[in-house]
Structure 1
């Protein structure tokens, strides 16, 4: 097998948020089978300093700093009649880097991680093209539009329409289009008519997310309900606001000492303001979420809008904690009944309150959840089908550098 060119919208290291976790495990899997050339963007300054760590998983690396505001990207998108998602990642330096990588290396497979990076594909692709959409982003913007009003609704509908057109065009060029769940794959087929659509689910490192592993503990003073996630991501921010404002008061009516910890980097003003509410704690970024998960009486995932498989749910399960999730957050996860799922505010509050009232049942549910994750979501098993898609033998040795 020849070399692989791996294009990523965000540097896949460190694996500390959803897209970077999937990206890192994909990169590690591919680099064990072929020489991989990584081209990626960074939007956190510290992520420009991971060349040594990435050298173990790539033959060459180019990481470009991406800056610019969403407003500027929106203006460019309107002028060029493109989706904002593409305008935000349009960079001449990346085009030059892709061209150089293709000319210098025997690339026979291009792996594109996220639709934003597909704009860098050359017109005359001679290599095999694997397009990892992960989720159907255009469907996410369509859902945003349904809840918006005025000019923002128009803008979001425009984004959904143009992005879906682009996604369909890319899928027609791809040898395989990958999605993180069967539901996302089925939705994409239905809306675009695409074929050659495959499912490569997310996994989890159950050795790292293990209640018996070594990590700094977090003191728990009374019942603790924990949410973890990237807090500048709109569905997360909206989900914790919904929980803090509409669900937590119901739980505290039965358990007055219950606290809700919102754990994750980059909380905006609206999320930080939730800390003014009784029983709400906003931590911001923490060195290791495992301590908070281990301390949780209940882990919650109250997302109203969610696509694909939620890592936050898998992490709570792997840490043997009882998980309460919305229908949207649980969708796509083969949890085997080991998590509590609810649709309404009342149902989610009742599920969490009942687990707080019965620690033995909560522990039993958490232990069953960990067993389910170990059996179903180990990364090697989740990525096994990728070898057949790429046309390489499982566990094939990597070519010499």
Structure 2
């Protein structure tokens, strides 16, 4: 029987951040299609604690600690003239595992999760290659460069330029390239070189959400957050991720002070792992609460009055938005945060762009509790009807094409 190799830049367990949530559900679905082998990285001891789960679902695996400092990866990337993102995920152990696995097992499909892992696809491999870019990383770094200055601007511009070339290389190598939404797929396609673009297959494979897990009926609110006066606004996410930091500082510096001029008791709650000191230093000041890593985000969403997600740079579908919607929380967000979610503003969430409009949107919902409540209910209905994982991954067997090729091989 033909088998699958799944290459992922992070171990798909636990599913507690956006990229790991997607890779987790894709891996589980692939394991239902054919035997799966996995090569991936662990960032810390908590990741290694998930090794039994990885072993349970796979035929074999290679789990490597990612220990190279980013500064060292940057220097090496400069010397080799490659993106830092690739050098940071370079591992001789994974290279050996992939080479040996392809030589001794009937690997028919290699599923590349995130562009950094495309470097491990052997040049001699003749099977099917699926490149799941998730979103357009090169465009994200170009956006960072446009907002930056000095050395940081040069670094981000270099990364964006080199990643764009690597994305095109991997897209040409792959049988199909996947992006998280149709808008992201259109953007990816528009950035490919004109030469040979027509022969590159690009399509959307969306994200889903476990609406049975993210159900407000099954969870109690976080008491620590309830003890803080309201209205309580919440932002959840990986807090060492630059766009999330920028969004949170936007609230802390400009949006929350404007809200507190009218609502002095209003508070803003940041929930997510690895917040930097520039955020934690502001904890317990001026209505700001930085909770850091929590075991379960649902009680914190349940304790909030509203989710406020003012992303300035957003690529792909934001899980934090879908999670808040599933928990019947009214969501105020920017167009970047709403990308890829085909919900209606003012019905399932409320979209605003400028600081002034975001403040006005918050006040509009606070002043009309019935509207806010109805928006939360409509948001959950949207998730139930449009954002299940079963629906999101329904095309995966056809994309992977293992069954058809197994039948052809047997004949």
Same fold by TM (over 0.5)?
yes
SS, match of residue 268 in structure 2: strand
Name the structure 1 match of 2:230: 222
Deviation at 1:276, TM superposition (A): 5.5
Name the structure 2 match of 1:134: 134
| Residue ranges of structure 1 left out of the alignment (5+ in a row) | 397-401
Preserved CA contact (<8 Å) 2:95 2:120: yes
1:379-394 residue pairs with structure 2 within 5 A?
379-392=389-402
Give the distance between the partners of 1:272 and 1:42, measured in 2 at CA: 25
Are 2:248 and 1:246 aligned? Answer: no
- Structure 1 range deviating more: 178-187 or 148-157: 148-157
Name the structure 1 match of 2:38: 38
RMSD over equivalenced CA pairs, Å:
1.6
SS, match of residue 212 in structure 1: helix
Name the structure 2 match of 1:80: 80
Please give the per-residue CA displacement for 1:111-139, whole angstroms capped at 9, x wherever unaligned. 00001100111111211000000011111
Give the distance between the partners of 1:49 and 1:131, measured in 2 at CA: 28
SS, match of residue 55 in structure 1: helix
Q: Which residue among 271, 274, 278 is the counterpart of 2:282?
A: 274
Preserved CA contact (<8 Å) 2:221 2:302: no
Deviation at 1:216, TM superposition (A): 5.9
Q: Which residue among 365, 370, 379 is the counterpart of 2:380?
A: 370
Give the distance between the partners of 2:45 and 2:125, measured in 1 at CA: 33
Give the distance between the partners of 1:274 and 1:168, measured in 2 at CA: 42
| Residue ranges of structure 2 left out of the alignment (5+ in a row) | 407-411
Give the distance between the partners of 1:354 and 1:259, measured in 2 at CA: 17
Query: Residues 372 and 393 from structure 1, CA distance in 2 versus in 1: closer, same or farther, beyond 3 angstroms?
Result: farther
Q: What TM-score does the superposition give when structure 1 sets the normalisation length?
A: 0.95
Preserved CA contact (<8 Å) 1:13 1:24: yes
Preserved CA contact (<8 Å) 1:261 1:280: yes
Give the distance between the partners of 2:50 and 2:101, measured in 1 at CA: 20
Preserved CA contact (<8 Å) 1:42 1:66: yes
Name the structure 1 match of 2:6: 6
Deviation at 1:55, TM superposition (A): 3.3
Give the distance between the partners of 1:49 and 1:99, measured in 2 at CA: 26
Name the structure 2 match of 1:315: 323
Deviation at 1:393, TM superposition (A): 6.2
Preserved CA contact (<8 Å) 1:254 1:353: no
Q: Which residue among 207, 213, 218 is the counterpart of 1:213?
A: 218
Are 2:289 and 1:293 aligned? Answer: no
Preserved CA contact (<8 Å) 2:221 2:300: no
- Structure 1 range deviating more: 200-209 or 50-59: 50-59
1:339-378 residue pairs with structure 2 within 5 A?
339-378=349-388
Preserved CA contact (<8 Å) 2:12 2:24: yes
Preserved CA contact (<8 Å) 1:309 1:332: yes
Q: What TM-score does the superposition give when structure 2 sets the normalisation length?
A: 0.93
Preserved CA contact (<8 Å) 1:241 1:274: no
Query: Residues 146 and 202 from structure 1, CA distance in 2 versus in 1: closer, same or farther, beyond 3 angstroms?
Result: same
Are 2:150 and 1:150 aligned? Answer: yes
- Structure 1 range deviating more: 172-181 or 191-200: 191-200
Give the distance between the partners of 1:377 and 1:56, measured in 2 at CA: 27
Deviation at 1:358, TM superposition (A): 2.3
Preserved CA contact (<8 Å) 1:51 1:61: no
Preserved CA contact (<8 Å) 1:200 1:382: yes
